Amino acid sequence: MKRDLISIADFTRGELEEIFSCAQRLKADRKASWPHPILAGKTLAMIFEKPSLRTRVTFEVGMVQLGGAAVYLAPPDIGLGTRETVPDVAQNLSRWVDIIMARTFAHQTVVDLARHATIPVINGLSDLLHPCQILADCLTVIEHRGRLDGLKVAFVGDGNNVVNSWLNAASKFPFTFALACPAGYEPNAEVLTRARQQGAQVTITQSVAEAVRDADAVYTDVWTSMGQERESAMRREAFKAYQVNATVMAQAKQDALVMHCLPAHRGEEITADVLEGPRSVVLDQSENRLHIQKAIMVWLLR
C-alpha cells in the first residue's frame, strides 16, 4: 500500500522515529562522504505554486545524492487547476515518475494530488501545514537536546501552517507546545482540537512572557506569509509586540535554542542579534531539511 506525507498527524510515533533514524544515518554518511544511491533510477516530480530556496534545493539535491533525479515544475509548466486538473496531473505524473512533492497554496490541492496519484505524494508546504519543516525542526532539537520528550517549545507569532504542524508533532511526542499570538491569529481550530484530543500539551496565550517562560526552544516565523501580502500593514501592527528579541529570550531558559524556518525579516519578527547569536540553530534547521526529506523519500519508496 502506498503512503503519502500530507500531515504528521497521519504517522505514528514509531514511524516518525524511523524517519528520524534514517535521516541521522544519511546525514552521517554524507558527512563521511559515503555515497548512498538508495534511490538510483527513481525520479521526483517537484510541483511549485510558491517559490522557495530551501524546498527546491533540498529536495532536488537530496534526490541527486540518493542516486535519483528530480524534475522542477513551475506554475506555467502545469497550470495546476486551470490548464490541467489536479486529478489529470496526478494520474499523468504517476505514469512517468516515482514520487511527487508539491508546494501549494490550497491544502486541498495536495490532498487531491495524493488521492488521485498511484505514487507517494509529499506535502512540501500548503496554507494549512508544513510537515517537512517541522520534522527537520524536531530532528534539530533532538540533535541539540537529545530528545523531544519533556521539553517545552514556545512559538511567538502567527498561528500559521508551521504552528499547525508543530501541534501535530506535539500529539505524537510528549513535549509542551506554547503559542503566543494576538487575538484572531490562533492556529486552525480543527488541527488544535484534534491535537489536544490525541494528548498534545498545548498552551495558547496572548502573553509572550507566559509562552516563553522556561522554554527549551523559542521559535518564530514571518508575520506575513506568501499570499497574505495585502494584509502586511495590518499584520505589522497586530504583531508589533510579538518580536523575538534579547528581552524575550531572557525569559526563556538560559540555554534556550533560537529557531526560525526562514526566510527571516530582521527587525520585524526577530532581531538580528538574536537570529545570528550563539543560541541560534536556524542554519541547522535549514540543513536538516535536506536530511529529513531524503529520509522521507527513502521511507515512502522502501
d(CA 56, CA 48): 9
- The whole-number pLDDT of residue 165 equals 98
Q: Give me the catalytic one of 56, 107, 289, 291.
A: 289
Instruction: Name beta bridge partners: 80.
Output: 84
107 as an active site residue: the answer is no
- The whole-number pLDDT of residue 228 equals 76
**pLDDT tens digits, residue range 226-254?**
777 788 889 999 999 999 999 999 999 99
230 as an active site residue: the answer is no
Q: Give me the catalytic one of 127, 137, 216, 221.
A: 221
Q: What is the CATH number of the domain that holds 70?
A: 3.40.50.1370
Q: Is the pLDDT of residue 81 over 90?
A: no
**Whole-prediction pTM value?**
0.97
138 as an active site residue: the answer is no
- The whole-number pLDDT of residue 79 equals 86
130 as an active site residue: the answer is yes
Strands 176-180 and 99-103: unpaired
Check whether residue 89 and residue 145 sit in a common domain.
no
User: Is the distance from CB of 205 to CB of 185 less than 8 angstroms?
Assistant: no
- What letter would DSSP give residue 11? S
Residue 235 cell numbers, joined: 499584520
145 as an active site residue: the answer is no
Average pLDDT over residues 185-203: 98
Check whether residue 148 and residue 124 sit in a common domain.
no
Q: Is the pLDDT of residue 95 over 90?
A: yes
Average pLDDT over residues 210-214: 98
Check whether residue 256 and residue 274 sit in a common domain.
yes
Q: In what order do the strands lie in the sheet with 201-205?
A: 201-205, 176-180, 152-156, 217-220, 257-260
Question: What is the count of structural domains for the chain?
Answer: 2
Q: Is the pLDDT of residue 46 over 80?
A: yes
Q: Give me the catalytic one of 4, 56, 65, 103.
A: 103
Domain annotation covers residue 156: yes
Greater pLDDT, 50 or 196: 196
- The whole-number pLDDT of residue 229 equals 79
Check whether residue 53 and residue 122 sit in a common domain.
yes
Average pLDDT over residues 111-124: 98
Give how far the C-alpha of residue 284 lies from the chain's centroid of Cα atoms, to the nearest Å: 14
Check whether residue 231 and residue 90 sit in a common domain.
no
Compute φ and ψ for 91, nearest 5 degrees.
-70, -35
Q: Give me the catalytic one of 112, 132, 133, 293.
A: 133
| Exposed/middle/buried for residue 28 (C-beta within 10 Å: 0-12, 13-18, 19+) | exposed
Helix (H, G, I), strand (E, B) or coil at 261: coil
- The whole-number pLDDT of residue 82 equals 85
Check whether residue 24 and residue 70 sit in a common domain.
yes
- The whole-number pLDDT of residue 86 equals 96
Q: How many CB atoms lie within 10 A of CB 60?
A: 17
Check whether residue 141 and residue 274 sit in a common domain.
yes
- The whole-number pLDDT of residue 224 equals 83
**pLDDT tens digits, residue range 213-231?**
999 999 999 998 777 778 8
- The whole-number pLDDT of residue 149 equals 98
**Mean pLDDT, rounded, of the chain:** 97
**pLDDT tens digits, residue range 143-187?**
999 999 999 999 999 999 999 999 999 999 999 999 999 999 999
Check whether residue 268 and residue 212 sit in a common domain.
yes
For residue 159, the enclosing domain spans 133-285
Q: Give me the catalytic one of 158, 243, 261, 285.
A: 261
Domain annotation covers residue 149: yes
Percent of the chain with pLDDT over 70: 100
- The whole-number pLDDT of residue 291 equals 98
Average pLDDT over residues 271-286: 98
Q: Give me the catalytic one of 54, 56, 130, 291.
A: 130
147 as an active site residue: the answer is no
